[in-house]
């Protein structure tokens, strides 16, 4: 079985997503700064996976701390937390996971237990996340008709999550339940997660997949070749507005225009009820070379500027349903999401 | 001055668009089969440029014919015409240009004049096309507000046309008339004509340009950062439905959803009144390796399928206006386009 993220012998073992599909290279990280770099450089990416990697990063940071003094320990740990928080701004899972571990640290009166308690909580988070994805997958699979062709964007499979998948988890459950599902995967420029990672993972799972350029999705929708669109989420605001990989908003508009359901798969760890709407979600601007270069080769003429927002915001009115591990939510999201708080 | 296509000393001299922006390499073509290959391999591309290259290709084919017999000449020339016609199916300019030269050949009773008459007609076509683009540019520029940010897709500049440009020609005239225009160029996967060619040409012209991935256009439209969208056309049907580079349809839907005008720049040579609607326009499926590889390097896992339609159809109801050298046309296109037949 694929273990893209694993805590092993006091280290975080990570499958380097930037090297796929050519090479399966595992990183063994012992220092929280290495985890921060791996998140920043997208060696680990996908909202739930970022959250878990950050949690293990905090564990690594804690393990290096020497002080027996609880207050000093917490103050130094706060520094580590801050550095890990500063890696990427959009996926709320990062802040959510760090905050959960932080609460454990603050709530633990015995300094000698702190390191063990943090590791325990990170492991717990991972187990919970996988279980949540499987439940989410079960809920979502009920919405996928037998014989459906599903369009997806970016990559939301085992590499990007707790280990099962969110949008791809739904497709995976549908497939495992015997539904004949085909996937059309946007290649997802600039980093080609659809072409590289979604195609790679679906092929491993034995689910038929075909890759198209992002600009072709509209044509496939308008020709009636797509039965539903399923995407992941980096952050869902209280009103249902959803931040996800750049290009998602376009798919939502095009799906609605063509009467095709548009589903967002979001584990509870991706939902941020503290933000009233999507306009408050910070959108990361990624480095220019993601667009200007590919594999070290320059594509654009010298001296031409680029803009590279990594995410866009899909307003809730374009979203047919948000699928969580706590159930399937539809409009009005602003009340229906709140009803799920109790779990 | 840039001469991307030039008839010189009995040869067709072509700037190889596949090598830009890294290298300015000119091809010197002496045989019509070389012209057919150059069109097929997209060394020359863009609807009006394809038409002109094919016309010169027919001239090259005619020049090699030895027979003094008029009927034999025409019959062999018909073979050449057929081979050139079979290169690419979507842009109507190809068939239109070949047909115009064919009419000249058929109408010329003196076999000794045939070769000269064909060359004369091809040159005439080129001169007409450039003049048409400049007129089209003047009409279109009136629709561009001073200070506008214009979104465009693919490449419609001097390389792609008779030598001035269609959608880029409009931007060029607006710039030359002193309007402050900024361009946002979709990179335009799979062949990156926006990133490579539009950026290169606008930089040469001194017009500010910024490149984005195709998936980001929706986000820019929704954030109010685009004042209008201007694209070219490979074929416009009688009802205004427009075939253009894959991704164009998505832009049209997203523009309408956000209240942004969406303009199609189409010289008369791109308009095909023989087809009642866009559903009759043949859409070319291009080779898989345009998506699976970039510069010889494989991007996708082995064994994963791709679909690569090169064009999509934008239904007329999403088009704010079609800009031709004969004037600006709006709904109902089905009557307004016919009114322009007389020129």
Domains of chain A as residue ranges with CATH: 5-133 (1.20.120.420), 139-342 (3.40.50.10470)
Indicate the DSSP class of residue A191: T
Nearest to A215 among B214, B298, B304 (CB): B214
Look at B304 and A189 and tell me if their CB atoms are within 8 Å: no
Look at B215 and A21 and tell me if their CB atoms are within 8 Å: no
Nearest to B249 among A209, A222, A313 (CB): A222
User: How long, in residues, is chain B?
Assistant: 343
**Average pLDDT score over chain A:** 97
Task: Choose, from B110, B214, B234, B312, the residue flagged as catalytic.
Answer: B234
Which two tokens mark A150?
A: 């599903």
pLDDT at A301: 94
Task: Choose, from A16, A31, A234, A272, the residue flagged as catalytic.
Answer: A234
Mean pLDDT of A126-154: 98
CA angle A269, A275, A281 (to 5 degrees): 85
pLDDT at B111: 84
* A31 given a catalytic annotation: no
Nearest chain A CA: its distance from B199 CA (Å): 7
- How many CB contacts within 8 angstroms connect chain A with chain B? 174
Q: Report chain A's C-alpha Rg in angstroms.
A: 20
Q: How far apart are CA A209 and CA A36, in angstroms?
A: 33
* Segment B128-169, tens digit of pLDDT: 999 999 999 999 999 999 999 999 999 999 999 999 999 999
Identify the CA nearest to B310 among candidates B1, B13, B39, B74.
B39
Checking ipTM against 0.95, whether it exceeds it is yes
Partners of residue B300 in chain A, C-beta under 8 Å: 21, 195-196, 199, 211
Whether B195 has its CB under 8 Å from any CB of chain A: the answer is yes
Q: How far apart are CA B136 and CA B230, in angstroms?
A: 12
Q: Is the pLDDT of residue A271 over 90?
A: yes
Q: Is the pLDDT of residue B343 over 70?
A: no
Whether B188 has its CB under 8 Å from any CB of chain A: the answer is yes
Whether B313 has its CB under 8 Å from any CB of chain A: the answer is yes
Q: Quick one: pLDDT band at residue B54, thresholds 50, 70, 90?
A: very high
Nearest chain B CA: its distance from A187 CA (Å): 9
pLDDT at A208: 98
* Segment B163-188, tens digit of pLDDT: 999 999 999 999 999 999 999 999 99
Q: Percent of chain B having pLDDT more than 90?
A: 96
pLDDT at B76: 97
Nearest chain B CA: its distance from A307 CA (Å): 6
User: How long, in residues, is chain A?
Assistant: 343
What is the CA B221 to chain-centroid distance, rounded? Answer: 25
Read out DSSP for B261-294?
-EEEE--GGGEETTSSSGGGS--PBPPTHHHHEE
Question: Going by C-beta distance under 8 Å and a sequence separation of 6 or more, which residues neighbour residue A123?
Answer: A7
């Amino acid at each position: 079985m694929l273990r893209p993220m694993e805590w092993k012998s006091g280290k975080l073992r990570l499958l380097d997503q930037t090297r796929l599909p050519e090479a399966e290279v595992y990183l063994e990280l012992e220092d929280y700064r290495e985890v921060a770099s791996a998140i920043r450089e997208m060696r680990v990416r996908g909202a739930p996976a970022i959250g878990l990697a950050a949690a293990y990063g905090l564990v690594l940071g804690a393990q290096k701390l020497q002080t027996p003094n609880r207050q000093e320990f917490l103050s130094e740990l706060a520094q580590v937390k801050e550095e890990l928080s500063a890696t990427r701004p959009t996926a709320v899972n990062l802040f959510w996971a760090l905050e959960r571990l932080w609460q454990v640290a603050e709530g633990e009166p015995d300094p000698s237990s702190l390191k063990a308690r943090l590791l325990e909580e990170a492991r717990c988070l991972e187990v919970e996340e996988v279980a949540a994805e499987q439940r989410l997958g079960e809920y979502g699979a009920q919405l996928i008709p037998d014989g459906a062709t599903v369009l997806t964007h970016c990559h939301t499979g085992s590499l990007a999550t707790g280990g099962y998948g969110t949008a791809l988890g739904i497709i995976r459950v549908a497939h495992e339940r015997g539904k004949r599902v085909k996937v059309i995967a946007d290649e997802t420029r600039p980093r080609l997660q659809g072409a590289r990672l979604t195609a790679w993972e679906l092929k491993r799972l034995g689910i038929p997949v075909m890759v198209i350029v992002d600009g072709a999705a509209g044509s496939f929708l308008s020709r009636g070749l797509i039965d539903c669109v399923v995407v992941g989420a980096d952050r869902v605001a209280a009103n249902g507005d959803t931040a996800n990989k750049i290009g998602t908003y376009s798919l939502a508009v095009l799906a609605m225009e063509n009467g095709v359901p548009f589903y967002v798969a979001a584990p509870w760890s991706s939902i941020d009820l503290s933000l009233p709407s999507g306009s408050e979600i910070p959108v990361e601007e990624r480095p220019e070379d993601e667009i200007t270069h590919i594999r070290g080769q320059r594509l654009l003429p010298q001296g031409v500027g680029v803009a590279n927002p990594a995410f866009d915001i899909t307003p809730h009115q374009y979203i047919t349903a948000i699928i969580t591990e706590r159930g399937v939510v539809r409009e009005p999201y602003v009340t229906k999401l709140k009803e799920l708080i109790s779990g």
